[in-house]
Structure formats: C-alpha cells, structure tokens
Amino acid sequence: MFVKHVLGAMGALALMTLPSFAVTVKSCDREVDFNQPPKAAVSNDVSLTEMMLVLGLQDRMVGYSGVSGWRTLDAELRKGVKKLPELSKRYPSKEVLVGAGADFYFAGWNYGMKVGGEITPETLAPFGIKVYELSESCIHIGPKDKVSLNDMYRDLLNLGRIFGVEARAEELVAGYKQELAALKDSYPRPEKPLKVFLYDSGEDKPFTAGRYAMPTAMIEAAGGVNIMDDVQKSWTLVGWESVVERNPDVIIIVNYGEVTAEQKIEFMKNNPAFSELNAVKNDRFVVLEYVEATPGPRNIRAIKKLLKAFWG
C-alpha cells in the first residue's frame, strides 16, 4: 500500500509539473483557442500544404485537398506528401473532412472555403474541427491592411504556435527575411519602379492580382509596382482596356491549368490590341508557377526570379 501511495503521489506530482498547452491565435476576425496541438490536420491547396510541410508537420496530417482538380504537384511537393492521401481533388465536403477524422483545417476564403458555403469555421465547429484562415484571404470577409509578406510570415508563425513548433517557425521566418534582404542588396535598381501586370488567366477579361493579393507584395519587394494596385480586391477580373491604358513594362504569367504559360504569352503577343504595350514590344515576360504566386514558402524564391527578370 505504501509503494502504491508513493507511486500515486509521484504520478500526481508529475501531472502537476507538466507544461500546459494553451494557445490563442488571431484568424481573420476570430480568435481560435487550442488546448492541445492538432493531431489530424488537413490543408487545402498547394501553397498552404507546403507551409505545413516546411514546418515538418506531415505526421500531424491525415491528408490534403484542392490540388489535382486544378493543377499538378511538382517533384518537391510530391515528395513531401507521398504518404498523405488527397482527400478531395477540389474543395472538400463536410463529409470528407469528418470522415477523415480531421481536427484541424488550414484553408482560406476561395482557398477551400467560400463565404456562405458548406465549409466554414462555423459549420465545422460542431464536429470538433478548428479552422485557421490564410491571412491573404481575409479581405473576403472584412477589411484588412494591404497585402505584405508579413501575411505569409504571420501564417507560418501562427501555425508554429498552433502545432507547438514555434521555434522552428521563427527560425524559418528569420531565414526568409535574411534571404530577402540579401537578394534586394544584390540587384541595383533605379529609383523609378517598373510597371508590372500579372496575367493569371482569361481571354475575354483577365484574372489578375489586385491590392490584396500576394503578388502585389512580391512585385514591390522586387522593385516594381502592380499596375492594378488601386483595385480594392485580391484575385479578380479586370478589363483589358485598363491594362492597355496603364501600359506595363513587364508581364508576369502565372503557370497552371489547361492553358500553358507559353499559350498565354502567345495570346498576348498575337493580339493586335496589345502590340503597343511596352512589355509585349520588348518581350518582357516572366513566368511564376501557381505555388510561387500564392502565399507560401516559395514567395522568396519567386521574388528572386522577379528581381532577375526586372533588373538582371
């Protein structure tokens, strides 16, 4: 009995001295509380999935979604998710997430969730699935500051806190900031920024990046200005007339989907309406992969590509 009593007391003491896990993060306009790190996470879209991978969270995931319905995984991502199932080719349903036993969903508005749709933080809460929203996407549900690389850094740091790998996240973000500072110093640039247009898709009207989409921050980091910076949206349709009127010096092509980057470039080169654009006349096109143009770890690599295209 004495031994039992001592062992019981030691166990109780051990429990009392165990560090408690209590984390609260800001997710768009909500505060989300965690009393333990998620064990069965699902991420949606390629760049969000890659954020999970760079933090080494594969073993805390039960799958990912929203990739093969629109685009393919490159070798780097395939390697990272080879042991994880793709639960849905596009947006997952509530049944898919619940059926996978998910306890956490990393997604964004128009990155796996739609305002008023089937999958939202509110609709998943009754099933014990907590949601963290991609910072760039918060503009869809309320006002936010103009996009910056801090949106991507914030997501990595918040994920680090949520999963109890804060030191790893802080080290990654510090490394990205240091790399970016060195990149900027390596390219002398004139005072006047280049005018840049991002062409995502569409022929009748182009789908592009406005003031709140990550490419705006990346263009500025590389010494350019997004000609659609005054468009108070993130990813959106605009008119070709405004593109012609603003006459970009460089055009960024986002490569994904059934229409290749080469086909998009040829469309612009062969259309008489664009023949007088500086970018077309001087053949100044730069291609970014989808995973580089959306918020995630490859944004720094993409800025390096833009710096070389702008000033190299």
pTM over 0.75: yes
pLDDT of residue 234: 97
Total residue length of the chain = 312
d(CA 115, CA 224): 32
Higher pLDDT, 195 or 14: 195
Structural domains in the chain? 17-176 (3.40.50.1980), 189-311 (3.40.50.1980)
**Across 263-283, average pLDDT:** 98
| pLDDT greater than 70 at residue 16 | no
Higher pLDDT, 145 or 10: 145
d(CA 245, CA 233): 20
Q: Quickly tell me which residue has 């956490």 as its tokens.
A: 104
**Across 259-270, average pLDDT:** 97
Find out whether 106 and 46 touch, Cβ atoms under 8 Å: no
pLDDT of residue 83: 87
pLDDT category at 76 given cuts 50, 70, 90 is confident
